[in-house]
C-alpha cells in the first residue's frame, strides 16, 4: 500500500527520512577500510547488538507457527515446557534459558540445530550450559535411535567429559520429557525477562562463562 503525503507532511516525512539515514563507510572491500570507518561501524553496531534479545524472542514466537509436524505440541511449546520443568526443578537462570532455547536452531538448521542453538547462547551463558545444548542432540539419541537402526549409545564417546552427567540429566528431565500436551507450562511472557537478562550481558565475560566449571543442574 502506498501512502500519499499532502501539504506539510511531505516535508516532515522527507526530513525524517534524511535524518534516519546513517553515515556509511566509503570502502567496498574490508581490507580498504580506515580506522575511522571501523570506529563508525563499531558505534553503529551497538544498537543492533542491543536488540539481540528481541530477535531471539521473535524467533521463539515463530516456532509456534513453523514447527516440525507429527509431534503433539509445537517447538515453541516444547521449549516452554523444558524451561518450566527446569525452573520447577530449582535450576538457575542460565539453565532455564538454555532449556528454553535449546531447540531455537531448528528453524534454519534442523540437521544441526543443537550446535546452532549452542552458538546463539555461547557468548552469554556458562560454559557447561553451552556444552550441554551443543551436545543434547546426540544424547537424545538414547531414546529413539534404535528405531532407525542407529547407535543409541553414541553419546558414550563423551563418557569421560565433565559435562556428561549433566547433559544426560538435562535430556532425561527436561528435553525428552517435554512433549506432553497436558503439562501446564509457563508462557512466553513469563520467560521473556529471563531471556532479556541473559542477552543483556557482556558477551564472553569470563565471570559468566566460568570455563571448566560444571554447575548443579537441579537444586538439592
Domain boundaries, the chain: 50-209
Share of the chain above pLDDT 90, in %: 84
User: Is the distance from CB of 117 to CB of 130 less than 8 angstroms?
Assistant: no
Using pLDDT thresholds of 50, 70 and 90, give the confidence band for residue 161: very high
Per-residue pLDDT tens over the stretch 172-201:
999 999 999 999 999 999 999 999 999 999
Poorest-pLDDT segment among 16-30, 89-103, 193-207:
16-30
Q: Is the distance from CB of 116 to CB of 108 less than 8 angstroms?
A: yes
DSSP 172: I
d(CA 30, CA 167): 41
| ∠ Cα 190 193 199 (to 5°) | 135
pTM of structure: 0.87
Per-residue pLDDT at 3: 42
C-alpha cell at 21: 539515514
The CATH architecture one would assign to domain 50-209 is Orthogonal Bundle (1.10)
Q: How many CB atoms lie within 10 A of CB 200?
A: 11
Amino acid at each position: 500500500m502506498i501512502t500519499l503525503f499532502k501539504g506539510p507532511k511531505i516535508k516532515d516525512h522527507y526530513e525524517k527520512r534524511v535524518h534516519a539515514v546513517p553515515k556509511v563507510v566509503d570502502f567496498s572491500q574490508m581490507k580498504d577500510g580506515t580506522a575511522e570507518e571501523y570506529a563508525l561501524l563499531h558505534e553503529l553496531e551497538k544498537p543492533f547488538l542491543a536488540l539481540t534479545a528481541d530477535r531471539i524472542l521473535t524467533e521463539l514466537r515463530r516456532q509456534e507457527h513453523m514447527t516440525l509436524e507429527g509431534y503433539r505440541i509445537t517447538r515453541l511449546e516444547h521449549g516452554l515446557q523444558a524451561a518450566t520443568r527446569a525452573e520447577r526443578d530449582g535450576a538457575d537462570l542460565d539453565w532455564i534459558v538454555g532449556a528454553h532455547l535449546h531447540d531455537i536452531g531448528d528453524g534454519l538448521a534442523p540437521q544441526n540445530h543443537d550446535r546452532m542453538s549452542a552458538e546463539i547462547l555461547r557468548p552469554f551463558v556458562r560454559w557447561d550450559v553451552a556444552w550441554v545444548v551443543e551436545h543434547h542432540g546426540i544424547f537424545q539419541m538414547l531414546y529413539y535411535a534404535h528405531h532407525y537402526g542407529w547407535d543409541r549409545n553414541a553419546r558414550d564417546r563423551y563418557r569421560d567429559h565433565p559435562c556428561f552427567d549433566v547433559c544426560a540429566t538435562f535430556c532425561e528431565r527436561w528435553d525428552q520429557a517435554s512433549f506432553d500436551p497436558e503439562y501446564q507450562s509457563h508462557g512466553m511472557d513469563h520467560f521473556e525477562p529471563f531471556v532479556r537478562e541473559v542477552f543483556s550481558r557482556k558477551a564472553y565475560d569470563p565471570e559468566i562463562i566460568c570455563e571448566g566449571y560444571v554447575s548443579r543442574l537441579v537444586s538439592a
